[in-house]
Structure 1
């Protein structure tokens, strides 16, 4: 029996998404497919762990390398790869990024992507917002709505970038403590 769940996670919430997917696995639901905001599960008696990995440029090589460890690639959503591995117990360890430096490197790749997207969005904002605001044929209400939408998008990007900076900072502090 399939179960479809619609749920949305932002780019910087991979840890929360991964925890939720593993909670679903504990309840007997195996991730079958994932798209943006839509997850399809099948019921199973087997135990699985699910990991997300921000895919590097050489996706095929990376996926092949991960699959060599009895790991199954499920899907890619927004450059995030979804991987599952059958385990004997839900307490079994299955990590794709097992050391702090690789976790930092992954978060830096996400940060770079978001930074580029943010920098690309700003000129579009000014290029489209300026003519709209200066246009006398568009109602003031519509101008305000468009401005609010752009402001929310900009604030969302700023929030995600700051959140990533904070996550990277905590990982670096953890690494310093371990050394």
Structure 2
């Protein structure tokens, strides 16, 4: 089975994957918003998505090995994200301090990406009259910028909530 979803929100993506698992579908692969699932036992897996901060292959292998040691497995990587699953309950972060640090990393990345998009926007809108493709790229970049800023806001809210729970 294949489903299409575009998420910029790792929590929403995890909820989607775990809901599909509850219905008896295990993630097989992911590509550009297309999720391919195979039939499994309902609720067989719990999915977690991790931001791979360190591009050093040794540290990535160490993380993957740590996940395997607790019974998890790497399903797929996509850019800076890794999708893990495990049979039964599964958490990557057990305390609020590590969760806060994690969401701060995500917030920083989305903030930097959104600022890059913001820098591109004026040039796109200035070309609207002269370049036909700008009629498509300017709104697209605007939507991407807004989606990324929304994630910065959501991460900030999540961080604040976690700090209040300390």
Q: 1:39 to 1:112 in 2, by over 3 A?
A: same
Asked whether the 8 Å contact 1:36–1:77 carries over to 2, the reply is: no
Gaps of 5+ in 2: none
How far apart, in 1, do the equivalents of 2:113 and 2:138 lie? 19
Counterpart for residue 169 of structure 1: 160
2:53 corresponds to 1:56: yes
Distance of aligned partners of 1:148 and 1:62 in 2 relative to their CA distance in 1, 3 Å threshold? same
Task: Give the corresponding residue for 1:155.
Answer: 146
Equivalent residue, structure 2, for 1:106: 102
Conserved 8 A contact 1:55-1:62: no
The TM-score with structure 2 as length reference comes to 0.82
Corresponding residue pairs, total: 161
Equivalent position of 1:121 in the other structure: 117
Query: Structure 1's 63 and 174: CA in aligned 2 closer, same or farther, altered over 3 A?
Result: same
Please name the residue that 1:4 is paired with. Answer: 2
Structure 1: any 5+ residue segments left out of the alignment? Answer: 88-92
Q: Aligned equivalents of 1:43 and 1:161: distance in 2?
A: 35
State whether structure 2 residue 36 is matched by structure 1 residue 45.
no
2-structure distance, mates of 1:100, 1:79: 23
Pair 174,86 (structure 1): closer, same or farther in 2 beyond 3 Å: same
SS at match of 2:7: coil
Q: What is the Cα deviation at residue 59 of structure 1?
A: 2.5
Structure 1 length normalisation: TM-score? 0.77
> What is the RMSD of the two structures over their aligned residues, measured on CA atoms?
2.3
Which position in structure 2 is the counterpart of 1:94? 90
Residue aligning to 1:74: 75
Q: Decide whether the 8 Å contact of 1:30 with 1:42 is kept in 2.
A: yes
Equivalent position to 1:22, from 18, 39, 56: 18
Q: Which moved more, 1:121-130 or 1:166-175?
A: 121-130
User: Distance in 2 between the 1:85 and 1:151 partners?
Assistant: 37
The verdict on how the C-alpha distance between 1:27 and 1:155 changes in structure 2, with shifts beyond 3 A counting, is: closer
